[in-house]
Amino acid sequence: MPDGDFSKQKKGLVAIDGAMALIVLLVVVQIWLLSGAWESFLAGHSETALPAAIVSGALFLSCVALTAFASRIDRSTRD
C-alpha cells in the first residue's frame, strides 16, 4: 500500500471517528431534551411540547447528515 493511500485512509478514519462522536453527543442531548419535555408535558405545561419536538427533529436531521457524511467518507477512502 503506497504511503498516500495510508494517509488518505487515516484521515478518513479520523473524520469518521469525529462524526460518530458528534452523533453520540447529539443523541444524548436529544434523549435529555425529550425526557425533559415529556416530564414538563406530563406536569401540565403543554406549551413546551412543540418547541421540543422541533429541536428534536433538527437533532435527528443532524444525526442523519453526519451518518451520510461518514458513509461518504468511508466509501471514498476504500476506493
Q: What single letter denotes the amino acid at residue 43?
A: A
Q: Give the tens place of pLDDT for each residue, 1-37.
A: 556 666 778 888 888 999 999 999 999 999 999 999 9
Q: Would you state the pLDDT for residue 77?
A: 84
Q: What angle do CA 78, 19, 10 make, to 5 degrees?
A: 40
Range 31-45 average pLDDT = 92
Q: Would you state the pLDDT for residue 13?
A: 86
Q: Would you state the pLDDT for residue 10?
A: 84
Range 46-59 average pLDDT = 91
Spell out the domain ranges in the chain. 3-78
Provide φ and ψ at 45, rounded to 5°.
-100, 80
Whole-structure pTM value: 0.79
